[in-house]
Chains A and B, each alone.
Chain A
Amino acid sequence: MRAEALAAMTAELTTVGNPSSLHTSGRRARRVVEESRESIASVLGVSAGDVVFTSGGTEADNLAVTGLYRARHAADARRTRVLASSVEHHAVLDPVEHLGTAEGADVEWLEVDHLGRLRVDLLEKRLAEDPASVALVAVMWANNEVGTTQPITEVAALCAEHGLPLHSDAVQALGQLDVDASTVDSLAVSGHKVGGPHGVGALVLRRGLALEPLLHGGGQERDVRSGTLDAPSIAGFAAAVLASAADRPERTERVRRLRDDLVARIVADLDGVTRNGDPVDCLPGIAHLSFEGCAGDALLLLLDAAGVECSRGSACSAGVPQPSHVLLAMGMDPVAAKSSLRFSLGRTSTPSDVDRLLEVLPAAVARARRAGPSR
């Protein structure tokens, strides 16, 4: 966690006060929450009243997708279509799919090109077919696996043309890119991706946009989200957002150079390595690579044993590696998809980390190739 976040969070943890209480301690905690809300809103380019605190990115995405669909469908029964990009994080993918199977929504997965970038031309056609039947559109700000950033401004313009709400999962983008939440109607962010605590996030929701709550109770957050506010986590989240906004230009430029160096050296040193995702419009810290003839999980094991930590696609709960839906949507075959690893660089990464990876990678790849690809 960032030092600023840790300090803000620790200070709150050592005091008492429920932000919804009316007494002195409650008012003090409420002030911390509201100042945090204002900080986050200012960084995201929206009003404080637009920010709804949640338990994290997953809740924010679920609330947006399900809440918007239910409210829009209830107001006009013809609105049954949900259009979402085929490379969304599971926090969007799964609630959308659930709306299809459990609530009769007509789900349309939006195509991406081989770099993972949304085909705006195809979205335009789909929207024009029958805009009155669309409940919502969901397109993430930047992809969590391959790092490709999406043409959000263009998508937002198309949606606005037809008066359709656009939700964007910006969990990966916050702190890495210039995220102007006023571009979209609904935006999900999370604390732990910006050096804040886990377990806190926010849905930035344009006021006036009807949304049905998922959690019913005290109505603490605009009656859109219930649950006692976690003032320490919110304080830590806000401190991290401010700090990551302050150092973003310098930090992301440094990380981008480090990442480009890493990719260039790996591609120069090893045969059969392919870089996935958009090489230009991409999150600065992500290098997503396929190693021909390797099983990604075998390579991960060998690198882990050599002290280098990397990931296979997104972290998965069951532990059973499936080929990434993102890579499949980009047109990659399942075996190649399973030969891929994501190397993530961040605020604390150094050139010596990259050197270390380059030291151990050739032997690990050679060994993983001997063990054979995933089947």
Chain B
Amino acid sequence: MKVVAALSGGVDSAVAAARAVDAGHDVTGIHLALARSPQSHRTGARGCCTLEDARDARRVADVLGIPFYVWDLSERFAEEVIDDFVEEYAAGRTPNPCLRCNERIKFTAVLDRSLALGFDAVATGHYARIVTTPDGRELHRAVDPAKDQSYVLGVLDRDQLAGAMLPLGASFKTDVREEAARRGLLVADKPDSHDICFVPGGDTGAWLRDRIGAAPGDIVDAESGETLGRHEGAFAFTVGQRRGLGIGTPAPEGARRYVVGVDTGTAAVMVGPPVLLEVDTVIGDRPRWCGPALDTPLEGQVQLRAHGEPVDAVVAPATGADGAAQLVARLRERARGVAPGQAMVVYDGTRVVGSVTITTSARR
């Protein structure tokens, strides 16, 4: 096959590309330029689109002996990922930009362009497995539970999965690093990237304040309705957050208080004891299916945030008040800190069934 290997400049995508070459594919390395004005150097583990990363990606392609090009997707990334991120926060939700990037950039913009240019697939260094069955392709969790990234790929649909190649799903990260070193890929020791790549310095609250502006409101006790303090913008708070509330009044008996919700109407941040965070019903919309759509209730699992534990649940299709397709999950045990805007990815064992964007959660 003719394969585009997305090379971030990191170790995972490098080994993924190397394995695609070994498998006999005709591989072309592509580095995605996502930042409009890239920083020249990586600082710690943050970011993935500096000039240094572009250079590292180029060196990987050199070592593998494959062609290498940079594709400028900064405009689309700004529109589809960064603008969306700001809008979601401004609306009081907590978006996951990595899922959005996978859905709209890597497996739409890049995949569509690759297919149009005569390639058959896009290979990435994500840790998840694609299993081919008589009924078609399935997306499964990676073998390495510590690195499993099936959650951030849970937004792919069947067509996107058909064009994806994930050579690392059956490997452990430590083995991938060793393999990189053995292959002479100089990125073998590069730290894993985390945090949000387009927020330099990692201070998401300050970054959002620069873009959304101050939107002050009250911090309100969710149980008593009492106003406990003021905040500069609800976007700085995420459901489940405990630190940085800056409330002077102590809670009765010194109980810890958490953010339990955001009222976008009044800009109030609701706080309360941890029990208020516990939910057993999660509802989401905008379903995405990487296999057959769910039409009957499924006894499966849901994962409610990246690196979150799977929770046993019955998941059923439903229709919202506005007529939009929804999924309702009844959790077998209560989950904490479920934030609107995050994805709920539905699993049947290791298989990804699909995902929705969380709209509401409740406790019966």
Contacts and interface: CB of A to CB of B under 8 A. Distances in A.
A367 B117 contact: yes
Interface string B67-101: 10111101110000000000000000000000000
Q: Choose among A304, A318, A375 the residue with the greatest number of B CB atoms under 10 Å from its CB.
A: A318
B116 A320 contact: no
B253 to A, nearest CB: 57
A326 to B, nearest CB: 18
Interface string A322-335: 00000000000000
A217 to B, nearest CB: 27
A370 B54 contact: no
A370 B69 contact: no
A301 B117 contact: yes
A297 B71 contact: yes
Q: Specify the main secondary structure of chain A where it touches its partner.
A: helix
Interface string A94-116: 00000000000000000000000
Nearest to A317: B51
Interface string B115-133: 0111000000000000000
B310 interface: no
A110 to B, nearest CB: 27
Contact of A301 (B28, B54, B58, B112): B28
Contacts, number: 45
B33 interface: yes
Contacts of A245: none
Given A318-B54, A319-B54, A320-B70, A302 B31 contact: no
A361 interface: no
A371 B117 contact: yes
Interface string B238-273: 000000000000000000000000000000000000
A103 to B, nearest CB: 23
Given A301-B117, A367-B117, A371-B116, A320 B72 contact: yes
Contacts of A304: 67
Contact of A320 (B33, B67, B113, B117): B33
Interface residues of A, number: 18
Contacts of A375: 75-76
Interface string A30-73: 00000000000000000000000000000000000000000000
Interface string A124-168: 000000000000000000000000000000000000000000000
B76 A321 contact: no
A324 to B, nearest CB: 14
A58 to B, nearest CB: 19
Interface string A349-366: 000000000000000000
B72 A302 contact: no
Nearest to A369: B116
B229 interface: no
A143 to B, nearest CB: 23
B38 interface: yes
A319 B31 contact: yes
A372 B76 contact: no
Contact of A298 (B58, B67, B117): B117
A315 interface: no
Given A301-B67, A301-B69, A372 B116 contact: yes
Contacts of B67: 301, 304-305
Given A297-B71, A371-B113, 20 more contacts: A298-B117, A300-B69, A301-B67, A301-B117, A305-B28, A318-B38, A318-B54, A319-B70, A320-B70, A320-B72, A321-B70, A367-B117, A367-B118, A370-B116, A371-B112, A371-B117, A372-B113, A372-B116, A374-B72, A375-B76
Interface of B: 28, 31, 33, 38, 51, 54, 58, 67, 69-72, 74-76, 112-113, 116-118
13 contacts: A297-B69, A297-B71, A300-B69, A301-B28, A301-B67, A302-B118, A318-B54, A319-B70, A320-B70, A320-B74, A367-B117, A371-B113, A375-B75
